[in-house]
């Protein structure tokens, strides 16, 4: 099975990444108690938290180099941005992620490369994402809890409905739908991966030859302590 990912994956916020509407259920100012992970409180103590699987998904995409975007039509963009800025994603000690610390927490907003958070249609959001990134719509996958936002499919964006919010199962289903919709892109990615492996193999054999020439006896010396 291919592991090819879209180059850009976007998420709605309300009832997709967290279980509320920030423009009706939340009263600013927002605050966080110390370094408490995945929990922000509003003026009256109401909490904002990501769904359980969201941190893991965001870490995975960042490690893979996928562009992560938020596309939200909320009428309270400042509150949404503040929530992303205050929310901390728990980082499990011992896990390895590219360019990430081994301990501590990271701000959620640091995971997002693009933020399209304002009260307009998702069509407008994705046209901006296309303009800013230069990526074709075929390289974009969008998760949202509202069926009406399937309109982005008219642009060529793959749309995955998540009526119960984002979880690992829905995420994998979305990836599968994108791959099925773009077998040509998946095939190109697979061929590129094979070329990279072949290149590494060739380079490896060249290094072996260098070692043989250097030692003059056909024996490859290593630093294996065993």
Residue 223, in any domain of the structure: no
- Judged on CB neighbours under 10 Å (0-12, 13-18, 19+), 172 is exposed
**Known catalytic membership, residue 12:** yes
Looking at the structure, do residues 197 and 131 belong to the same domain, yes or no? no
Average pLDDT over residues 110-137: 97
The residue from 12, 42, 144, 145 that is catalytic is: 12
Domain annotation covers residue 224: no
For the stretch 169-184, pLDDT in tens is: 999 999 999 999 999 9
pLDDT, one tens digit per residue, over 97-121 is 454 444 478 999 999 999 999 999 9
Is residue 176 domain-shared with residue 191, that is, in the same domain?
Answer: no
What is the value of pTM for the model shown? Answer: 0.80
8 A C-beta contact, residue 30 and residue 83 = yes
Residue 165 confidence (pLDDT): 98
23 in active site: no
69 and 22 part of one domain: yes
Task: Pick the catalytic residue from 14, 42, 144, 145.
Answer: 14
Compute the distance between CA of residue 159 and CA of residue 69 in angstroms, rounded to an integer.
14
200: containing domain: 184-215
Give the bridge partners for 72, in sequence order: 117
Question: pLDDT band at 188, cuts 50/70/90?
Answer: confident
Burial of 156 (0-12, 13-18, 19+ CB in 10 A): middle
* In-domain check, residue 188: yes
Same domain, residue pair 168 and 211: no
Same domain, yes or no: 130 and 189: no
113 and 32 co-located in one domain? yes
């Amino acid at each position: 099975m291919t592991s090819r990912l879209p180059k850009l994956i976007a998420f709605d916020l309300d009832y997709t990444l967290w279980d509320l509407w920030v423009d009706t259920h939340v009263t600013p100012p927002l605050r966080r108690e110390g370094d408490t992970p995945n929990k922000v409180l509003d003026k009256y103590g109401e909490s904002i938290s990501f769904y359980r699987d969201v941190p893991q998904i965001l870490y995975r995409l960042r490690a893979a180099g996928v562009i992560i975007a938020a596309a939200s039509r909320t009428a309270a963009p400042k509150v949404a941005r503040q929530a992303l800025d205050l929310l901390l994603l728990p980082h499990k000690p011992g896990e390895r992620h590219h360019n990430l610390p081994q301990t501590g927490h990271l701000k959620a907003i640091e995971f997002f490369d693009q933020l399209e958070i304002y009260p307009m249609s998702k069509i407008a959001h994705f046209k901006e994402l296309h303009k800013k990134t230069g990526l074709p719509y075929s390289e974009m996958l969008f998760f949202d809890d509202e069926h009406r936002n399937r309109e982005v499919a008219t642009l060529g964006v793959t749309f995955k409905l998540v009526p119960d919010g984002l979880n690992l199962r829905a995420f994998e289903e979305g990836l599968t739908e994108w791959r099925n919709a773009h077998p040509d892109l998946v095939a190109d990615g697979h061929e590129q991966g094979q070329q990279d492996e072949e290149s590494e193999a060739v380079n490896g054999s060249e290094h072996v030859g260098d070692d043989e020439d250097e030692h003059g006896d056909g024996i490859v010396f290593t630093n294996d302590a065993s």
